[in-house]
Amino acid sequence: MSSPSPNKNSDRSLVTAFLLVLVFVTPFTSLWSRGGMAWYAPYVLWLGIVMLIAVSLRSGQGDDREP
C-alpha cells in the first residue's frame, strides 16, 4: 500500500492564513493604513485575499482523487 498523499487544499489554506496574518497583524499594517492612503485600501486587500481563496479552491477541486 502506498502512503496517502497530503491534501493540497490544507497547504493552500495555511499559505492563505499566513498571508492574512502577514498583511493584517504584523508591522506591514502601517504600510496600507496610513492617513494618506485611500479609504478603500483595506477593502481592496480583503478582496484580493477572497479572490486568492476562490482561485485556490477552484484549482484544488480535482486534487482529492485517488491515483
Query: pLDDT tens, 22-63?
Result: 888 878 788 777 788 888 888 998 898 888 888 877 776 665
Range of the domain at 14: 8-59
Could you tell me if residue 66 is inside a domain? Answer: no
Could you tell me if residue 47 is inside a domain? Answer: yes
Could you tell me if residue 30 is inside a domain? Answer: yes
The CA radius of gyration of the chain, in Å to the nearest whole number, is 16
**In the chain, how many domains are there?**
1
Cβ neighbours for 9, distance < 8 A, ≥ 6 positions apart: 56, 57, 60, 63, 64
- What mean pLDDT comes out for the span 17-25? 84
Could you tell me if residue 65 is inside a domain? Answer: no
Could you tell me if residue 32 is inside a domain? Answer: yes
How far from the centroid of its chain's Cα atoms is residue 56's Cα?
A: 8
Task: Output the nine-digit C-alpha cell for 34.
Answer: 496610513
